[in-house]
Amino acid sequence: MTISIRSVEKKFGRYPALNSVNLEIADGELVALLGPSGSGKTTLLRTIAGLEFPDAGQVLFEGQDVTFASAAARRVGFVFQQYALFKHMTVARNIAFGLDVRKGKDKPPKAEIARRVDELLKLVELEGLGKRYPSQLSGGQRQRVALSRALAVQPSVLLLDEPFGALDATVRKSLRKELRRVHDATGVTTIFVTHDQEEALELADRVAILNAGRIEQIGTPHEVHDNPATPFVCGFVGEANRFEGTVSGGRFTSGPVILPAPDAAGGAALAFVRPHDLVLDAEGFAAKVERVVIQGPLANVDASLPDGRRIEICAARDEAAKFSSDIRLSARRAHVFAA
Amino acid sequence: MLDDDHPMTAETISAPPRAPRRPLFRRRSAIPGFGLTLGVTLTILSLIVLIPLSAVAIKAFSQSPAQFLAAAFSERAVAAYRLTFGAAFVAAVINGVFGVLTTWALVRYQFPGKAVVNALVDLPFALPTAVAGIALATLYAPNGWVGQYLTPLGIKAAYNPVGVTIALIFIGLPFVVRTLEPVMRDLSEDVEEAAASLGAGRFATIARIILPALGPAWLTGFALAFARGVGEYGSVIFIAGNMPYKSEIAPLLIIIQLEQFEYANAAGIALVMLGVSFLMLLVINAIQAWSRRFV
Amino acid sequence: MAVATKADFRHPTDDPLWAKIVIIGLVLAFLGLVLILPLVAVFAEALRKGLGPALDAVATPDAWAAIKLTLITAGIAVPFNALFGLCAAWAIAKHDFPGKPLLITLIDLPFSVSPVVAGLIYVLVFGLQGWFGEHLIDHDIKIIFAVPGIVLATIFVTFPFIARELIPLMQEQGVSEEEAAVSMGASGLYTFWRVTAPNVRWGLLYGVLLCNARAMGEFGAVSVVSGHIRGLTNTMPLHVEILYNEYDFVSAFAVAALLCLLAIVTLVLKSVLEIAQPDVKRGGGH
């Protein structure tokens, strides 16, 4: 199922939640909508689902206008943030709900529904829990039930709103892999919302980064991390040291800090340098090491510039000893944007 | 689209979604039934409550302003307001005091029969007011169960404003207790422990920490009890004595005017009472809006 | 400084024993005088001449007529307000629209109107001198001093009970379960019955319980519109009043005792519900 979002606008009262959003999603893709809270990512997901209706613009499924179609007509599978499981129904009844509500010849026979429920329970590794009630499950299990309930209707697209938001860190990680596995097994076009960049970058084929109701950048995890299109993306995705300064002659200058800016136009500018792009360089600018923290194979270094600004450097653990006190640094690479 | 190899996809999605027509009105919500339920709500609300209520104002103003004032603020009516509002105020104050104690005991202490006491607090909600009225009259009449012990002390507790106040205490108590209860329950014990750790004695903690935190809820409960007391009729008339200028409450005066077919006069007095009710409603809403600053 | 021993320790949120005893004593004395004694008095006065006369009083034709009218009135008013409450709660709790707080305030309005005024408004609308008075006489329809007026007045005074119980409950439950159902193809009615109703049934029952107690016990509003015709337009509370004013105290208290039993049953059921389903308790006073 291909999905096209065209110039979609949505306001809540006076507050613009979506501001001329365009997005094309290919069949079978796994796309993350990433952004801080209030960026419009959930509104966009709900607009695709048919749970919100835009003030302007179009939503197309396979080229057909579904802007004002109900969620049911679009055949979406939606996994809610708090799962929205029906508390008074068993796990099996929950999963079967989307099939039970069908009428006439569309409704599969009982045995068929039961078979499908078993299949889905197996898919999400919850065999034997069909008779439990949601309150008797752990958070991770509830999330799996929500996922299989959404899949039961054989959705044309699977939509997940902060699917791992309510879970603790370990469960999160394993369910992330699980979602990828289920996606690969079913091949259903999948869109999920998250504010966790690690989650988005690890799981998605492509990431759309939203800010203040606009899409700032769409690309593979690799692209958005290495070639951020805007200062917002650069600051939001991955760690970065931020500098305000000016560009002239292919160099960015901010006090003592001088960074390469070969393609940037002259004038006031913002520069971002990833901690791992800062390297020791006897020719570089001076900094004073304040603290070195070893984290697994890495050494994270907190340092300060002579004017008091703080920077972070990330080096290989073997190099930790070199960050004794006074050091000189240069940047292998910087992302420079006109201010 | 689901993968064809997968067993789940034996029936792939056949019909692509139909292109829908743009709805006549902009769709606001994915959950259906909004127009129908809101329409029914507004219709019934208007027919049962709003339109009939407006009849009071229309009837009251069907006479000249001078006539309206003469009826609504006649000497007898003013005496009735004074009694009604005065007794409701005193009853609300007494309920304010005992309501805090009752709630405190119910929330913080364990004692035998607590569950029964807790249920009984709601008795005035469940007991028909006329039953309460005749029971209170029987108890507090000069020769009644309680009254006989008060008479030698020179206290007359029925057939006078004191009787009216007793009935309104009965009616108003649960408003104070049930408004305070959730707030008192939610008072975090951390705050008390913090106060104690900073050297506050128990009395200082109660006076400076607990009571101020209860303030808005107390005021709300007080206002609710007062508002209910002002309008109360059933439990009062049996114990009030109903002497014009002395122990006649405003709602009774409305009924007396009605029985004399003085509809406009009745509407005039009713309008004054409605005005006070709306004022109380505004006050209660304002207290609640104000108290939300703390949360 | 004296050495503190374990016996001296009192948790900072705990009150000294003497304070507890004084407070509990005061509370019990106050509640005894204001709540418990009246309840006892009703049964004592009803049984003053033994069980026989009390039962006879309840078995008179007029008493039976009053009981029947009370049941009919509550039987109409409570389901009506339940339907209204469900409609209003669905519109208010599950959808967004401007003016919502105002609508909630208007629904609550009957609570702040004196019952006597509640009766009066229907006299002004449907009474002899009222808006529709002549029209109703021409068509020989009686509303005031008849059963329809009693039902209307009862609906008015119990109007907010169920709605104000359901609205916060349904608001708290949010919309995602309904959205989930709708997104899977369930119709509005199906979603309501299968998803919403099971979640609010205890709250609904709680509201119905309180609404019913008030509907059966309403006095002021009904008194204004009833006309006090014995055997025809007397509800139980009105019948109590008539008997009391005729100095037939045993009969008055016997019928009153029946109403007390209703109140006690209501309170017991209410307590049971509150213990079994703590979610139902909200909304404060009525």
Task: Find the closest chain C residue to A51 by CA distance.
Answer: C179
Considering the segment(s) B62-292 as one domain, its CATH architecture is Orthogonal Bundle (1.10)
- Choose among B1, B26, B28: nearest Cβ to A189: B1
Domain locations along chain B:
62-292
Other C-beta atoms lying within 10 Å of the C-beta of residue C99? 8
d(CA C203, CA C283): 11
Task: Find the closest chain C residue to A98 by CA distance.
Answer: C184
Put residue C182 in one of left, alpha, beta given phi > 0 → left and psi -120 to 50 → alpha.
alpha
Residues of chain B with Cβ-Cβ distance to A71 below 8 Å are 30
Q: Report whether CATH 3.30.930.10 matches the domain A3-235.
A: no
Beta-carbon pairs below 8 A across chains B and C: 301
d(CA A288, CA A269): 25
Closest to C116 measured CA to CA, from B163, B257, B239: B257
For the record, the structure tokens of A35 come out as: 């952004």
Tell me how close the Cα of B273 comes to any Cα of chain A, in angstroms: 38
Please list, in sequence order, all residues whose beta carbon lies within 8 angstroms of the beta carbon of residue B240, skipping any fewer than 6 positions away: B159, B160, B163, B164, B167, B247, B248, B249, B252
Fold of A241-338: OB fold (Dihydrolipoamide Acetyltransferase, E2P) (2.40.50)
| pLDDT: which is higher, B213 or C29 | C29
For the segment C168-172, the average pLDDT, to the nearest whole number, is 92
State the pLDDT confidence band at A174, using cuts at 50, 70 and 90.
confident
For the segment B136-156, the average pLDDT, to the nearest whole number, is 91
Whether chain C has a CB inside 8 Å of the CB on A86: the answer is: yes
Q: Do A70 and C182 touch (CB under 8 A)?
A: yes
The identity of residue C65, as a single letter, is A
d(CA B149, CA B145): 8
Which letter does DSSP use for residue A323 in this model?
Answer: -
Q: Do A97 and C186 touch (CB under 8 A)?
A: yes
Residues of chain C with Cβ-Cβ distance to A77 below 8 Å are 183
Q: Do B52 and C121 touch (CB under 8 A)?
A: yes
Q: Do C183 and A88 touch (CB under 8 A)?
A: no
Q: Do A80 and C179 touch (CB under 8 A)?
A: yes
d(CA A231, CA A29): 27
Q: What pLDDT shows up at residue B208? A: 82
Which chains touch A (3+ CB pairs under 8 A)?
B, C
Query: Could you give phi then psi for residue B79, rounded to 5 degrees?
Result: -60, -40
Beta-carbon pairs below 8 A across chains A and C: 54
Residues 105-134 of C with CB under 8 A from B: 105-117, 120-125, 127, 129-131
Which chains touch B (3+ CB pairs under 8 A)?
A, C
d(CA B153, CA A214): 80
Whether chain A has a CB inside 8 Å of the CB on C182: the answer is: yes
For the segment B94-109, the average pLDDT, to the nearest whole number, is 94
Residues 13-32 of B with CB under 8 A from A: 13, 16-23, 26-28, 30
Other C-beta atoms lying within 10 Å of the C-beta of residue C101? 11
ipTM comes to 0.89
- Asked if residue B16 has pLDDT above 50, the reply is no
- Give pLDDT tens digits for C36-73: 999 999 999 999 998 998 999 899 999 999 999 999 99
Q: Do B234 and C122 touch (CB under 8 A)?
A: no
Closest to C107 measured CA to CA, from B142, B41, B123: B41
- Asked if residue A229 has pLDDT above 50, the reply is yes
d(CA A158, CA A173): 20
State the pLDDT confidence band at A90, using cuts at 50, 70 and 90.
very high
- Asked if residue C280 has pLDDT above 50, the reply is yes
Which letter does DSSP use for residue B207 in this model?
Answer: I
Whole-number average pLDDT of chain B: 86
Residues 184-203 of C with CB under 8 A from B: 187-189, 191-192
The identity of residue B8, as a single letter, is M
Task: Find the closest chain B residue to A75 by CA distance.
Answer: B17
| Total residues belonging to chain C | 286
For the segment B223-243, the average pLDDT, to the nearest whole number, is 92
Question: How does A104-133 read in b/e, with b if 16+ C-beta sit within 10 Å?
Answer: eeeebeeeebeebbebbbebbebeebbeee
Which chains touch C (3+ CB pairs under 8 A)?
A, B
Q: What pLDDT shows up at residue C4? A: 63
Q: Do A68 and B27 touch (CB under 8 A)?
A: yes
If 0-12 CB within 10 Å is exposed, 13-18 middle and 19+ buried, where does residue B110 land? Answer: exposed
Rounded to the nearest 10 degrees, what angle do helices C249-276 and C37-46 cross at? 140
- Asked if residue B270 has pLDDT above 60, the reply is yes
Q: What pLDDT shows up at residue A24? A: 95
| pLDDT: which is higher, A18 or C9 | A18
Q: Do B280 and C94 touch (CB under 8 A)?
A: no
Task: Report which secondary-structure segment, H or E, holds A320.
Answer: none
Please list, in sequence order, all residues whose beta carbon lies within 8 angstroms of the beta carbon of residue A298, skipping any fewer than 6 positions away: A314, A315, A316, A317
Residues of chain A with Cβ-Cβ distance to C172 below 8 Å are none
Q: What pLDDT shows up at residue C9? A: 66
Q: What pLDDT shows up at residue C5? A: 65
Q: Do B29 and C112 touch (CB under 8 A)?
A: no
Domain locations along chain A:
3-235, 241-338
Task: Find the closest chain A residue to C184 by CA distance.
Answer: A98
What percent of chain A shows pLDDT beyond 70?
100
Q: What is the pTM of this model?
A: 0.85
Q: Do A101 and C184 touch (CB under 8 A)?
A: yes
- Give pLDDT tens digits for C92-133: 999 988 899 899 999 999 988 999 999 999 999 998 777 888
- Choose among A55, A61, A185: nearest Cβ to B6: A185
Residues of chain A with Cβ-Cβ distance to B12 below 8 Å are 154
| Structural domains in chain C plus CATH codes | 1-46 (no CATH), 53-282 (1.10.3720.10)
- Asked if residue B3 has pLDDT above 50, the reply is no
Residues of chain B with Cβ-Cβ distance to C183 below 8 Å are 30
Whether chain B has a CB inside 8 Å of the CB on C250: the answer is: no
| pLDDT: which is higher, A111 or A106 | A111
Q: What pLDDT shows up at residue A263? A: 82
For the record, the structure tokens of B274 come out as: 């409605």
Confirm if C24 and B111 have CB atoms less than 8 A apart.
yes
Q: What pLDDT shows up at residue C282? A: 58
Residues 89-128 of A with CB under 8 A from B: 116, 119-120, 123
Residues of chain B with Cβ-Cβ distance to C187 below 8 Å are 32
State the pLDDT confidence band at B80, using cuts at 50, 70 and 90.
very high
Whether chain A has a CB inside 8 Å of the CB on B11: the answer is: yes
Contacts 24+ apart (CB under 8 A), B189-196: B189/C13, B192/C12, B192/C13, B193/C12, B193/C13, B195/C12, B196/C12, B196/C13
- Choose among A28, A71, A154: nearest Cβ to B13: A154
For the segment C242-246, the average pLDDT, to the nearest whole number, is 94
For the record, the structure tokens of B110 come out as: 């364990």
Please list, in sequence order, all residues whose beta carbon lies within 8 angstroms of the beta carbon of residue B66, skipping any fewer than 6 positions away: none
Query: What distance lies between CA C203 and its chain's CA centroid?
Result: 14
For the segment C251-276, the average pLDDT, to the nearest whole number, is 93
Residues of chain A with Cβ-Cβ distance to B34 below 8 Å are none
Tell me how close the Cα of B293 comes to any Cα of chain C, in angstroms: 18
Q: What pLDDT shows up at residue B295? A: 54
3-state secondary structure of C143: coil
For the segment B186-206, the average pLDDT, to the nearest whole number, is 78
Q: Do B193 and C31 touch (CB under 8 A)?
A: no
Question: Which alpha helices (DSSP H) does chain A contain, by range?
Answer: 41-49, 71-74, 91-100, 110-123, 139-152, 169-186, 197-203, 221-226, 231-236
- Choose among C176, C179, C190: nearest Cβ to A101: C190
Q: Do A71 and C195 touch (CB under 8 A)?
A: no
- Give pLDDT tens digits for A34-57: 999 989 999 999 999 988 889 999
Q: Do A84 and C177 touch (CB under 8 A)?
A: yes
| pLDDT: which is higher, B14 or A151 | A151
State the pLDDT confidence band at C216, using cuts at 50, 70 and 90.
very high
Tell me how close the Cα of C92 comes to any Cα of chain A, in angstroms: 17
If 0-12 CB within 10 Å is exposed, 13-18 middle and 19+ buried, where does residue C121 land? Answer: buried
State the pLDDT confidence band at B20, using cuts at 50, 70 and 90.
very low
For the segment B133-138, the average pLDDT, to the nearest whole number, is 95
State the pLDDT confidence band at C8, using cuts at 50, 70 and 90.
low
Tell me how close the Cα of C260 comes to any Cα of chain A, in angstroms: 36
Residues of chain C with Cβ-Cβ distance to A88 below 8 Å are 198-199
For the segment B233-262, the average pLDDT, to the nearest whole number, is 92
